[in-house]
Amino acid sequence: MSATLFIAVLFAAVFHASWNAVIKFGQDRFLGIAVMTIYSGLVSVPALFWTGLPDAATLKWLALSALFHIGYAVCLSRAYARGDLSQIYPVSRGCAPLLTTLFAITLFSEHLAWLSFAGIMLIVSGVILLAFNRRSPSHARAGLVYAIITAFFTACYTLSDGFGARSSSDPLTYIFWLFALNGWVMLILGFARYRHNFTRNFLRYSKPGLTGGILQIFSYGIVIWAMGQAPIMIIASLRETSVLFALLISAFFLKERLTQARIVAACIIVAGVIVIKLGS
């Protein structure tokens, strides 16, 4: 993996942590995800006139990804409704690269160097340690179950988008069509769920929604582009360093206390990133 690609994915992780911080602007997590996704779709529409139609080979991956993103949004919002953000988020993100690796190896016969695999395991261990570093009522069984299901959908859309980008003659075409499609899907779901209140809520949260939508495009757009050039398993794991950046944001900007366990977990994640770089 080139240094440029490596650094780009780390920047994507920063953007991911940032839009997850923005999503806290309301009590309804599904509404927050919906507004951001719709805005990322709206921002992507003008680019469709430049990129043109997607390749026929990518249509099945776009359709699959849209379905997986619906499951992701529903389960993530339900997980947040039953558990604390600081612990649900690490569980859902920490399990995702592990599932992605298992699916890629068993279903698609992907291969991975042992050093890269060791780095993935370090990142997963560090992220999950962040989730279980203290006892809290947020460890409700239902919340954790939904967090794990969210990780399953994350692994599924990661693989579908990785192969979709590889099958496209231009990854940017796939990226912008994916965001536009997801925006339309979430618009339909939003109207179906909130009916007459959706337009009012959408306009109310327009500013944070637009900010989060743009961050979504950069965070996941970079990841899809990277998966077209490097092993999906490695990119998926590096992306989850977003949990580390979220920890740093909470410590330096929100003034939250860094516990010893969190510092240890952060060191494990950094070690995993270094090992992945050495192995690639």
Confidence band, pLDDT 50/70/90 cuts, at residue 112: confident
pLDDT at residue 57 above 90?
A: yes
Confidence band, pLDDT 50/70/90 cuts, at residue 139: very low
pLDDT at residue 217 above 80?
A: yes
Q: What is the pLDDT of residue 138?
A: 45
Domain count, the chain: 1
Q: Is 39 or 22 the better-scoring residue by pLDDT?
A: 39
Q: Is 223 or 246 the better-scoring residue by pLDDT?
A: 223
pLDDT at residue 22 above 90?
A: no
Q: What is the pLDDT of residue 44?
A: 95
CA distances to 41, 54, 73, 80, 182 from 31, rounded to whole Å, are 15, 29, 10, 12, 14
By the 8 A CB rule, do 85 and 21 touch?
no
Q: What is the pLDDT of residue 131?
A: 63
Q: What is the pLDDT of residue 250?
A: 67
The Cα 23–Cα 192 span in angstroms is: 21
Q: What is the pLDDT of residues 236-257, one digit of tens each?
A: 888 877 777 777 776 776 566 6
The Cα 98–Cα 121 span in angstroms is: 7
Cβ contacts of 229 within 8 Å, gap of 6 or more: 5
On average, the pLDDT of the chain sits at 82
Q: What is the pLDDT of residue 129?
A: 77
Q: What is the pLDDT of residue 182?
A: 94
Question: What average pLDDT does range 175-182 have in this prediction?
Answer: 95
Q: What is the pLDDT of residue 24?
A: 57
- Is-above-0.85 flag for pTM? no
For residue 95, the enclosing domain spans 3-279
Can you tell me whether residue 133 is helix, strand or coil?
Answer: coil
By the 8 A CB rule, do 144 and 91 touch?
yes
Q: What is the pLDDT of residue 183?
A: 94
Taking the CA atoms of the chain, what radius of gyration do you get in angstroms?
A: 18
